[in-house]
């Protein structure tokens, strides 16, 4: 039985940390860098997708948070706003 494996040569730019990880993975597994990246992509494609949250709508059609048993307070909203819009994150 003959198997033809198609491959494409291309150039990509990846972050230093991604390159470092892929190089380490290749070394440990005894693969070329190309084969290691291909294997990692294949694994990512085979991984199950996280479940999509069920969106509930109010009677007037607005999307609502799913019930969590927690009360969303003004203090909680303020805390989250301060964390999300912290000026030091944008400096």
What are the tens digits of pLDDT across the range 39-83?
999 999 998 888 877 788 889 988 887 777 778 889 888 888 887
Q: Where are the domains of the chain?
A: 11-66
| Long-range Cβ contacts of 76-80 (<8 Å, 24+ apart) | none
Measure the CA–CA gap between 20 and 22, rounded to whole angstroms. Answer: 6
Give the pLDDT band (50/70/90) at residue 25: very high
Q: Which of 4, 10, 1 has its CA nearest to residue 38?
A: 10
């Amino acid at each position: 039985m003959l198997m033809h494996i198609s491959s494409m040569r291309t150039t990509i730019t990846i972050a230093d940390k991604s390159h470092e990880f892929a190089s380490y993975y290749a070394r440990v597994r005894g693969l070329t860098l190309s084969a290691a990246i291909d294997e990692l992509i294949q694994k990512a494609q085979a991984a199950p997708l996280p479940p999509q949250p069920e969106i509930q709508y109010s009677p007037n059609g607005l999307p609502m948070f799913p019930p969590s048993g927690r009360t969303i307070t003004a203090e909680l909203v303020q805390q989250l706003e301060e964390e999300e819009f912290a000026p030091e994150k944008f400096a």
